[in-house]
C-alpha cells in the first residue's frame, strides 16, 4: 500500500504526497495526468521496488487533499516540489509526468536544474503558443471541446467542466471505453480493460474528491503561458509519444522532441496514450536511473 502524508507546500498550502517502491531507493517524482491523483498504479510501484526506486507522487493543487492554488500556472509546481523535497530530505531526483503531468515534469527540468537529474515527458501536451503547431489537430472531440471551453469565458469553461465531471463520475470501468470513444485509438482500446480500467477510474475519483477544482485549473494551465521556456532546459529529457494518441495528438510529442534541447525521442507508431503507462514504464524507469548514475 502507498504511504500517504500531508506536507506544507509553498504559501502554507497543504500538499498530499504518496510513496511506493523502495523507501531507501533513488527518488523519482511522478506528475499525474488530467484529471488524476497521487494514487500510484500497482505495476509501476512493483517495477520501482524491483529497480530500487523510491516512487513519489503528489496531488497537484486542487486535487485530492492538496489545497487549491487559484490562478496557478505550470511553472508554479516548482515551488511545491521544492517544498516536497525539503520535507522528505531529498536533494536530487528524477521525474516523469504523463499527459497533463508532462508539462509539469518539463517545468522542473527547466526551473530546478540543480535538483532534477533527468525528466521524462510522456504523451505530454505541448505549450499553447508552440510555433507551427495546430494544437487540436488530431485530438479527440471530447478534448477539443474541453480546450475550447477553457479558452472561452469562465462561465463557459465551468459549464463544460461540470458536464465532464458528471459523465466521468457516473461511468463504470466496463463503460469507460465507450465513455472515451472519441479519445481512444486501436492501441488504447486494447489495453483499457480489467485492472487498468479499474485503476484509471479509482485514480481519477481520488483526485476529484472532495473538489474538482484541480481539473478545472489544469485545463486553464494548458491554454495559457506555462511560465517557462522549454528551450531553456539543459538536463536530459526523454520525450515519449504514440502515433495513435487521440488524447494528446502525436504532433505535440514531435514538437517537444524538436524543441527541448538535446531531448531523446521515442515516437512510436504502435503506442497510443494509455499504452505508455501500461507497457513502457520499465524502460522509462531504466532510462531515468541511467541518467542519475
Q: What is the full per-residue pLDDT of the chain (293 aa) written as tens digits?
A: 468 899 998 889 999 999 999 999 999 999 999 999 999 999 999 999 999 999 999 999 999 999 999 999 999 999 999 999 999 999 999 999 999 999 999 999 999 999 999 999 999 999 999 999 999 999 999 999 999 999 999 999 999 999 999 999 889 999 999 999 999 999 999 999 999 999 999 999 999 999 999 999 999 999 999 999 999 999 999 999 999 999 999 999 999 999 999 999 999 999 999 999 999 999 999 999 999 86
Question: Tell me, what's the pLDDT at 289?
Answer: 98
Under CATH, what is the fold of the domain 3-292? Rossmann fold (3.40.50)
**Model-wide pTM > 0.85:** yes
What is d(CA 293, CA 271) in angstroms, rounded to the nearest whole number? Answer: 28
The residue among 24, 18, 11, 15 whose CA lies nearest residue 61 is 15
Nearest Cα to 116, choosing from 74, 72, 83, 82? Answer: 82
Report CA dihedral (179, 181, 183, 187) to the nearest 10 degrees: 110
Across the chain, which distance is largest between two alpha carbons, in Å? 49
User: Where exactly are the structural domains of the chain?
Assistant: 3-292
Look up residue 63 and give its three cell numbers: 486535487
Looking up cell 487521440 gives 246
Instruction: Please give the pLDDT value at position 59.
Output: 98
21: alpha, beta or left, given left = phi > 0 and alpha = psi -120 to 50?
Answer: left
Tell me what pLDDT residue 292 has.
84
Q: Residue 25 CB: number of other CB atoms within 10 A?
A: 15
**C-alpha torsion sign, points 273, 34, 225, 155:** positive
pLDDT at 3: 80
Amino acid at each position: 500500500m502507498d504511504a500517504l502524508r500531508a506536507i506544507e507546500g509553498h504559501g502554507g498550502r497543504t500538499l498530499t504526497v504518496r510513496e511506493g517502491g523502495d523507501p531507501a531507493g533513488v527518488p523519482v517524482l511522478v506528475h499525474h495526468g488530467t484529471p488524476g491523483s497521487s494514487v500510484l498504479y500497482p505495476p509501476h510501484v512493483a517495477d520501482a521496488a524491483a529497480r530500487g526506486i523510491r516512487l513519489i507522487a503528489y496531488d497537484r493543487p486542487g486535487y485530492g487533499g492538496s489545497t487549491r492554488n487559484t490562478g496557478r500556472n505550470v511553472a508554479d509546481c516548482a515551488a511545491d516540489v521544492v517544498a516536497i523535497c525539503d520535507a522528505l530530505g531529498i536533494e536530487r531526483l528524477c521525474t516523469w509526468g504523463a499527459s497533463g503531468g508532462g508539462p509539469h515534469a518539463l517545468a522542473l527540468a527547466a526551473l530546478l536544474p540543480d535538483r532534477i537529474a533527468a525528466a521524462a515527458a510522456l504523451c505530454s501536451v505541448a505549450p499553447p503558443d508552440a510555433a507551427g503547431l495546430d494544437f487540436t489537430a488530431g485530438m479527440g472531440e471530447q478534448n477539443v471541446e474541453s480546450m475550447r471551453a477553457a479558452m472561452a469565458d469562465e462561465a463557459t469553461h465551468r459549464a463544460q467542466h461540470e458536464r465532464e465531471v458528471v459523465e466521468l463520475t457516473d461511468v463504470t470501468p466496463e463503460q469507460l471505453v465507450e465513455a472515451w470513444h472519441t479519445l481512444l485509438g486501436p492501441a488504447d482500446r486494447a489495453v483499457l480493460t480489467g485492472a487498468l480500467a479499474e485503476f484509471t477510474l479509482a485514480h481519477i475519483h481520488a483526485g476529484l474528491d472532495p473538489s474538482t477544482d484541480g481539473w478545472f485549473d489544469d485545463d486553464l494551465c494548458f491554454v495559457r503561458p506555462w511560465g517557462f521556456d522549454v528551450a531553456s532546459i539543459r538536463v536530459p529529457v526523454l520525450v515519449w509519444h504514440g502515433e495513435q494518441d487521440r488524447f494528446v495528438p502525436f504532433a505535440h510529442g514531435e514538437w517537444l522532441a524538436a524543441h527541448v534541447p538535446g531531448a531523446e525521442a521515442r515516437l512510436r507508431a504502435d503506442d497510443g496514450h494509455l499504452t505508455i503507462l501500461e507497457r513502457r514504464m520499465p524502460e522509462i524507469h531504466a532510462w531515468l536511473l541511467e541518467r542519475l548514475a
